Amino acid sequence: NADAAMYLAKDSGKNNYCFYNAELSKSMARKMEIESELRKADRDSQFSIFYQPKIELKSGAIAGMEALIRWEHPKLGVVSPTEFIPIAEETGQIDSIGEWVLYQACQQTATWHRAGYDSLCIAVNVSVRQFQRRGFVSTVRNILEQTGLPAQYLELEITESIMRDVSETMKVLQGLKKLGVKTSIDDFGTGYSSLHILKELPIDTIKIDKTFISNMEKQANRSMVRSIIDIGLNLNLRVIAEGIESEEQVAILKDYHCALGQGYLYSKPIKAEMFEKLLADSILLAKA
């Protein structure tokens, strides 16, 4: 987008050009700094994984959790994944970061299973690049073997953008299904989606994007949410709503037969130790 910004800047006069140019180089410097700090980052001390519960709406039981990476750099402080993940995707650093997350999340979940919380499912975000990389399915298989987590307790969250290369995506999804791993379309409704393709994909879950949930007081958005849930149910998919912040939203979602939800109303993403406390104080879903 740098070119577009330059173009706009030139277009709106000389002074603006300087202003935009300065802004632009500032953001490019930031990007380069993040890229190089990511390369040097000592994963085990700078990265951590937070967990956010997924709730069965009708009972309030914890069905599982989503793993969300956190990066605390000694000088830069906390850097949001919305900032560094896209950079890591561009540079290819996401391959090894993603593998680290997957391993840690599976290992933690296997530990919780051994402690008796053996119905918990872990959801891990996977970027398009990671997903389409050769050998991805065997990487997942190896991590499951090494950590001892049974495949059916792992769900991979991918975005609609994977639908751009349908034939490749199909192969990977089939490989994962054969392993027994579940898959979910994250941020559903915001991206490149075709209902025709959706119908053909061997996926398990769609996750309604939080922008639809947060605007549900508007009738148009409510209708949208209802339609997405209906599509999911008609295709025999599980439907989860992300970004739930109020009881009103829960009531509407339950009314529309949405089974699962996630959001600040229940809990923000929290550290593993905190999540253990949450588990101890909550009801859990019965083992399937």
Residues contributing to the site for Mg ion (CB under 5 A): 125, 157, 186-187, 242
Question: How many residues form the binding site for ligand C2E (CB under 6 A)?
Answer: 24
Quote the least distance from Cβ 153 to ligand C2E, whole Å. Answer: 17
Question: Which one of ligand C2E, Mg ion, none is in contact with 80 (Cβ closer than 5 to 8 A by kind)?
Answer: ligand C2E
Q: Decide: is 160 part of the binding site for ligand C2E (CB under 6 A).
A: no
Quote the least distance from Cβ 3 to Mg ion, whole Å. Answer: 27
Q: Single out the segment in contact with ligand C2E by CB under 6 A; choices: 5-13, 111-119, 217-225, 263-271.
A: 263-271
Q: Single out the segment in contact with ligand C2E by CB under 6 A; choices: 4-12, 19-27, 169-177, 258-266.
A: 258-266
Q: Which amino acid is at 126?
A: V
Q: Is 74 exposed, middle or buried (0-12, 13-18, 19+ CB in 10 A)?
A: exposed
Residues 6 or more apart whose Cβ sits within 8 Å of residue 245: 213, 214, 263, 264, 265
Question: Which one of Mg ion, ligand C2E, none is in contact with 82 (Cβ closer than 5 to 8 A by kind)?
Answer: ligand C2E
**Exposure on the CB side of residue 218, measured as CA atoms within 13 A:** 8
Query: Residue ranges of the alpha helices (H) in 161-271?
Result: 166-179, 195-200, 210-214, 219-234, 247-255
Among 39, 194, 264, 283, which residue sits at the site for ligand C2E (rule: CB under 6 A)? 264
Among 101, 216, 225, 239, which residue sits at the site for ligand C2E (rule: CB under 6 A)? 101
Closest CA to 90 of 139, 37, 31, 44: 31
Query: Looking at residue 270, what DSSP letter applies?
Result: B
List the interface residues with ligand C2E, window 49-88 (CB under 6 A). Answer: 52, 68-69, 80-82, 85
Closest CA to 147 of 179, 117, 188, 112: 112
Question: Which one of ligand C2E, Mg ion, none is in contact with 33 (Cβ closer than 5 to 8 A by kind)?
Answer: none
C-alpha separations of 172 from 32, 79, 140, 177, 181 in Å:
32, 31, 11, 9, 11
Q: Which two tokens stand for residue 41?
A: 């980052």
Buried b / exposed e over 10-34, threshold 16 CB at 10 Å, is eeeeeeeeeebeeeeeeeeeebeeb
Among 35, 118, 204, 245, which residue sits at the site for ligand C2E (rule: CB under 6 A)? 245
Closer to ligand C2E by CB, 21 or 190: give it. 190
Among 53, 189, 232, 243, which residue sits at the site for ligand C2E (rule: CB under 6 A)? 243
Specify the residue for token string 């309030």.
60
Q: Decide: is 263 part of the binding site for ligand C2E (CB under 6 A).
A: yes
Q: Which residues bind ligand C2E (CB under 6 A)?
A: 52, 68-69, 80-82, 85, 98, 101, 125-127, 157, 186-187, 210, 242-245, 262-264, 269
